[in-house]
């Protein structure tokens, strides 16, 4: 096959592949009804990527591979809308929305008007230009005439088609709203908060902050979505109703709100408003009202505009989600993982039908950034079923009597010290009632004390009924206690008691891990057990002792020191001992049969050096790197070198691997 011919075939094949991917994207993201598995999808995508790498000249801007990866820009260019993007007049009352209907009918001189009703998405208005079905430019509304060109950012939105599904007009301008789903907003905020980064006040701000990023890669990492609700200029395509516009947009691959309806009776519009208002909290996107639009475009044209708003549409808003109130106090709440969260106690205020008297301030950094003080007048927002939060402080209302708040140095629940991890302050108490369930779950887990049969439900009941107040209490439970629990029979109770009994005989590393010291995972626990033969010595270890251990950094060392300083820790350890928890001391177990003996290894043996070393040490011996008169054995493997010569010279005993294995047998 000649070069040109091959290329033509490839071009055709790539086009087919892209069409397939566009289609499956649409099934997956827009319809939420995938037809193929993720693996098959990835296979198609990878194949396209590979072909494009081989033939970069065949890459087109609408290729599904071109959603992400564009370089950051210094600033956005401007974009002139060919038809101005209007704003909507809005009303809050039934009377006012009925006035709108009357005005429309009077001006048109018709009795019967059909309306299309849509939810008013609380996001940001965008315009997307498609030429011959390919997405060319995307822009913000701006002042209505001129917006910003944010094409690269909009391309990263998975529900925004890069290419329209079916054959289409030479020009189509699609208008709609970019938003962030409420659930995704929560996740994003949690992860920003955990990193100590600035959080967003609400999903709309999060969407705004994400879509206007100068680096499209940041936008790509943000969970944005898009609903289409209208068109701008078109060529080769005309519509007679808004309903047809929405149906067409849906047909060619856009996400259109499933809540759109059309009504001939205005009563139904009112009912729709009330029904959607009720459903507001169930939706995964924020809406702040409904939009009522005259369906017939001919009527729309006859009605025209008034200043910058159409006379043929109106926003009928829901009650605001934001209210003013005062901060009566700031308290600290301890979460189940021990995180201390500052919470504003508010003068109770009604926000869209719900009384709000507390709002989260997230963490100390956020609180400082917003500069919230006790006595302040603040704006509080309740978005969806998200925990209400303080959005901002009205500083002009300050009298000077406001009090700044400081995070406590101790846990307000149990009095233990707190440890700051980035922006999060955490209680390290071992018997903190706020954390008891988590604590005991960890204590009983497989890699910790491995208490079989002590599941989540049993732990929850033990804690809720206050049958245990720390982990050691588990060992004092009687069969009679356990039988009081729901769905606990004789057999299960016996099983749990056996498991508890069995777990008492443990190892030092398990016990250290089970203590739940911050930053001490199973691996670190076993390192500590290797370096301290007894819990007592770990307890008395100094900061220097700890940081001298390889792999133990300052943060971990500090956490260990602070942990053992707690009164609660001492009580718990005493109680565990009284309960009969014990671990075998390593030297004793190994009979210290190599006590005082030094080994040097040279050459290759079949056992890993590290393993050999750890066996010798476990048996009480030492491993040195060079041969001296003090060396007891030189273990010579294959291709042994100068150490062997030195051993011969000094008269040190030389053994081979088999003899070494004999010595350590039973170890
Ligand atoms: S129609 C001429 N429909 O509300 C009509 N707008 O103040 C102009 N919005 O900037 C817009 N949902 O950001 C329309 N279903 C919807 C909408 C909607 C949200 C926003 C849009 C616009 C603002 C109007």
Distance CA 434, CA 463 (A): 10
Measured from the Cβ of residue 92, the count of other Cβ atoms closer than 10 Å reads 14
User: In the structure, what pLDDT confidence band is assigned to residue 586 with cuts at 50, 70 and 90?
Assistant: low
Which numbered atom of ligand 1 lies nearest the CA of 90? Answer: 7
Is pLDDT at 602 greater than 50 in this prediction? yes
User: In the structure, what pLDDT confidence band is assigned to residue 69 with cuts at 50, 70 and 90?
Assistant: low
Q: Quick one: average pLDDT of 438-457?
A: 92
Highest mean pLDDT among 200-204, 421-425, 575-579: 575-579
Task: Return left, alpha or beta for 425; rule: phi > 0 is left, psi -120 to 50 is alpha, else beta.
Answer: beta
Residues 236 and 192 in one domain: yes
How many separate domains does the chain show?
5
Q: What is the pLDDT of residue 573?
A: 96
Nearest CA to ligand 1 atom 2: 86
Residues 156 and 265 in one domain: yes
Average pLDDT, the chain: 91
Domain's final residue, options 533, 553, 588: 588
Distance from residue 367's CA to the centre of ligand 1 (Å) = 34
Residues 111 and 130 in one domain: yes
Q: Could you tell me if the CB of 492 is within 6 A of ligand 1?
A: no
What six digits make up the tokens of 99? 């006035």
Q: Could you tell me if the CB of 313 is within 6 A of ligand 1?
A: yes
Residue 134 located in a structural domain: yes
Residues 159 and 128 in one domain: yes
CATH of the domain at 604: 3.40.50.10190
Q: Quick one: average pLDDT of 542-559?
A: 93
Closest CA to 559 of 538, 590, 531: 538
Q: Could you tell me if the CB of 226 is within 6 A of ligand 1?
A: no
User: In the structure, what pLDDT confidence band is assigned to residue 589 with cuts at 50, 70 and 90?
Assistant: very low
Q: Could you tell me if the CB of 121 is within 6 A of ligand 1?
A: yes
Is pLDDT at 658 greater than 90 in this prediction? no
Percent of the chain at pLDDT > 90 equals: 74
Which numbered atom of ligand 1 lies nearest the CA of 120? Answer: 12
Q: Which of 84, 87, 88 to mutate to test the pocket of ligand 1 (most atoms within 8 A of CB)?
A: 88
pTM of the predicted protein model: 0.71
User: In the structure, what pLDDT confidence band is assigned to residue 588 with cuts at 50, 70 and 90?
Assistant: very low
Which residues are registered as beta bridge partners of 171?
A: 131, 235
CATH of the domain at 448: 1.10.150.20
Residues 140 and 215 in one domain: yes
Distance CA 409, CA 405 (A): 12
Closest CA to 192 of 337, 5, 362, 385: 362
Q: Which of 84, 117, 121 to mutate to test the pocket of ligand 1 (most atoms within 8 A of CB)?
A: 121
Q: What is the pLDDT of residue 4?
A: 67
Residue 145 located in a structural domain: yes
Residues 369 and 468 in one domain: no
Residues 569 and 624 in one domain: no
Is pLDDT at 656 greater than 60 in this prediction? yes
Q: For residue range 297-356, what is the model confidence (pLDDT) as tens digits? A: 999 999 999 988 999 999 999 988 889 999 999 999 999 889 999 999 999 999 877 899
Q: What is the pLDDT of residue 3?
A: 61
What six digits make up the tokens of 551? 């792999």
Q: Quick one: average pLDDT of 190-199?
A: 88
Q: What is the pLDDT of residue 610?
A: 79
Distance CA 154, CA 172 (A): 16
CATH of the domain at 18: 1.10.287.610
Is pLDDT at 1 greater than 60 in this prediction? no
Helix, strand, or coil (residue 349): strand
Which domain does 538 fall in, by range?
Answer: 428-588
Is pLDDT at 124 greater than 60 in this prediction? yes
Contacts of residue 559, defined as CB under 8 A and 6 or more positions apart, other chains included, come to: 419, 428, 517, 518, 519, 520
Which numbered atom of ligand 1 lies nearest the CA of 118? Answer: 15
Is pLDDT at 360 greater than 50 in this prediction? yes
Residue 463 located in a structural domain: yes
Residues 169 and 281 in one domain: yes
Q: How many CA atoms lie within 13 A of 417 on its CB side?
A: 15
Q: Are 426 and 559 in contact (CB under 8 A)?
A: no
Residue 17 located in a structural domain: yes
Nearest CA to ligand 1 atom 18: 120
Which numbered atom of ligand 1 lies nearest the CA of 119? Answer: 15
Q: Could you tell me if the CB of 309 is within 6 A of ligand 1?
A: no
Domain's final residue, options 570, 588, 606: 588
Q: Could you tell me if the CB of 317 is within 6 A of ligand 1?
A: no
Measured from the Cβ of residue 650, the count of other Cβ atoms closer than 10 Å reads 13
CATH of the domain at 167: 3.30.470.30
User: In the structure, what pLDDT confidence band is assigned to residue 167 with cuts at 50, 70 and 90?
Assistant: low
Residues 375 and 435 in one domain: no
Q: For residue range 251-310, what is the model confidence (pLDDT) as tens digits? A: 999 999 999 999 999 999 999 999 999 999 899 999 999 999 999 999 999 999 998 899
Measured from the Cβ of residue 181, the count of other Cβ atoms closer than 10 Å reads 19
Residues 143 and 177 in one domain: yes
Q: Quick one: average pLDDT of 582-611?
A: 78
Q: Are 207 and 181 in contact (CB under 8 A)?
A: no
Residues 61 and 97 in one domain: no
Q: Quick one: average pLDDT of 368-393?
A: 90
Closest CA to 314 of 118, 177, 173, 485: 118
Distance CA 635, CA 502 (A): 40
Residue 76 located in a structural domain: no
Q: Quick one: average pLDDT of 412-431?
A: 92
Q: Could you tell me if the CB of 229 is within 6 A of ligand 1?
A: yes
Domain's final residue, options 374, 397, 420: 397
Q: What is the pLDDT of residue 131?
A: 94
- Catalytic annotation on 120? yes
Q: Could you tell me if the CB of 381 is within 6 A of ligand 1?
A: no
CATH of the domain at 357: 2.40.50.140
Distance from residue 584's CA to the centre of ligand 1 (Å) = 71
Distance CA 315, CA 88 (A): 6
* Token pair 């057990």: residue: 529
Helix, strand, or coil (residue 601): strand
Which numbered atom of ligand 1 lies nearest the CA of 257? Answer: 15
Residues 127 and 143 in one domain: yes
Residue 85 located in a structural domain: no
Distance from residue 591's CA to the centre of ligand 1 (Å) = 81
Q: Quick one: average pLDDT of 26-42?
A: 88
Q: Out of 7, 54, 120, 437, which one is annotated catalytic?
A: 120
Closest CA to 264 of 368, 381, 113: 113
- Per DSSP, the chain holds a count of helices (H) and strands (E) of 25, 26
Q: For residue range 75-122, what is the model confidence (pLDDT) as tens digits? A: 899 999 999 999 999 999 999 999 999 999 999 999 999 999 999 999
Q: What is the pLDDT of residue 474?
A: 97
Q: Could you tell me if the CB of 260 is within 6 A of ligand 1?
A: no
Residue 492 located in a structural domain: yes
Q: Could you tell me if the CB of 246 is within 6 A of ligand 1?
A: no
Percent of the chain at pLDDT > 70 equals: 97
Distance from residue 355's CA to the centre of ligand 1 (Å) = 29
Q: What is the pLDDT of residue 82?
A: 95
Nearest CA to ligand 1 atom 16: 120
Residue 403 located in a structural domain: no
Is pLDDT at 667 greater than 80 in this prediction? no
Distance from residue 480's CA to the centre of ligand 1 (Å) = 65
Is pLDDT at 447 greater than 90 in this prediction? no
Q: What is the pLDDT of residue 9?
A: 87
Q: Could you tell me if the CB of 81 is within 6 A of ligand 1?
A: no
């Amino acid at each position: 096959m000649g070069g040109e011919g091959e290329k033509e075939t490839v071009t055709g094949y790539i086009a087919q592949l892209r069409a397939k991917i566009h289609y499956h994207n649409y099934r997956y993201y827009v319809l939420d009804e995938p037809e193929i598995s993720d693996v098959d999808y990835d296979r198609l995508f990878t194949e396209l990527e590979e072909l494009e790498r081989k033939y970069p000249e065949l890459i087109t801007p609408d290729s599904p591979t071109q959603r992400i990866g564009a370089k950051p820009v210094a600033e956005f260019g401007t974009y002139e809308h060919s038809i101005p993007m209007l704003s909507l007049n809005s009303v809050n009352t039934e009377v006012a929305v009925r006035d709108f209907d009357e005005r429309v009918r009077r001006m048109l001189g018709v009795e019967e008007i059909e309306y299309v009703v849509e939810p008013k998405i609380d996001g940001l208005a965008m315009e997307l230009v498609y030429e011959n079905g390919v997405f060319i430019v995307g822009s913000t509304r701006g002042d209505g005439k001129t917006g910003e060109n944010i094409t690269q950012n909009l391309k990263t939105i998975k529900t925004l088609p890069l290419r329209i599904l079916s054959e289409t007009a030479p020009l189509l301008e699609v208008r709609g709203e970019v938003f962030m789903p409420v659930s995704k907003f929560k996740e994003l905020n949690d992860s920003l908060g955990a990193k100590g980064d600035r959080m967003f006040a609400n999903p709309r701000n999060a969407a705004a902050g994400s879509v206007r990023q100068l680096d499209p890669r940041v936008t790509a990492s943000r969970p944005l979505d898009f609903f289409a609700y209208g068109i701008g200029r078109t060529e080769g395509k005309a519509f007679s109703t808004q309903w047809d516009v929405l149906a067409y947009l849906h047909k060619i691959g856009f996400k259109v709100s499933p809540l759109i309806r059309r009504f001939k009776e205005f009563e139904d519009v009112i009912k729709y408003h009330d029904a959607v208002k009720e459903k507001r909290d169930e939706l995964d996107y924020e809406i702040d009202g409904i939009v009522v639009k005259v369906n017939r475009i001919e009527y729309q044209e006859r009605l025209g505009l008034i200043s910058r708003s159409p006379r043929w549409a109106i926003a009928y808003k829901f009650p605001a989600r934001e209210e003013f109130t005062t901060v009566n106090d700031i308290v600290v709440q301890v979460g189940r993982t021990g995180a201390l969260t500052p919470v504003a106690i508010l003068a109770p205020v009604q926000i869209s039908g719900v009384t709000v008297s507390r709002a989260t301030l997230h963490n100390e950094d956020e609180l400082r950034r917003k500069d919230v003080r006790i006595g302040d007048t603040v704006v509080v927002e309740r978005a969806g079923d998200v925990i209400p939060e303080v959005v901002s402080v009205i500083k002009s209302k300050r009298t000077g009597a406001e009090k700044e708040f400081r995070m406590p140095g101790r846990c307000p629940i149990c009095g233990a010290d707190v440890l700051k991890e980035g922006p999060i302050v955490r209680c390290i108490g071992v018997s903190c009632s706020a954390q008891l369930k988590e604590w005991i779950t960890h204590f009983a887990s497989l890699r910790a004390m491995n208490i079989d049969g002590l599941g989540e439900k049993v732990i929850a009941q033990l804690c809720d009924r206050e049958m245990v107040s720390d982990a050691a209490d588990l060992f004092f439970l009687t069969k009679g206690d356990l039988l009081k629990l729901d769905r606990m029979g004789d057999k299960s109770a016996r099983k749990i008691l056996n498991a508890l009994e069995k777990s008492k005989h443990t190892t030092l590393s398990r016990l250290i891990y089970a203590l739940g010291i911050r930053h001490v995972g199973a691996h670190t626990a076993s390192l500590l057990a290797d370096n301290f033969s007894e819990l007592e010595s770990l307890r008395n270890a100094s900061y220097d002792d700890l940081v001298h251990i390889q792999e133990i950094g300052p943060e971990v060392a500090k956490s260990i020191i602070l942990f053992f300083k707690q009164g609660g820790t001492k009580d718990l350890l005493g109680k565990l001992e009284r309960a009969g928890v014990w671990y075998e001391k390593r030297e004793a177990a190994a009979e210290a049969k190599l006590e005082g003996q030094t080994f040097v290894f040279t050459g290759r043996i079949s056992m890993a050096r590290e393993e050999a070393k750890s066996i010798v040490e476990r048996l009480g011996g030492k491993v040195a790197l060079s041969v001296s008169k003090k060396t007891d054995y030189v273990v010579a493997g294959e291709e042994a070198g100068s150490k062997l010569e030195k051993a011969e010279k000094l008269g040190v005993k030389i053994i081979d691997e088999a003899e070494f294995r004999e010595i350590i047998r039973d170890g």
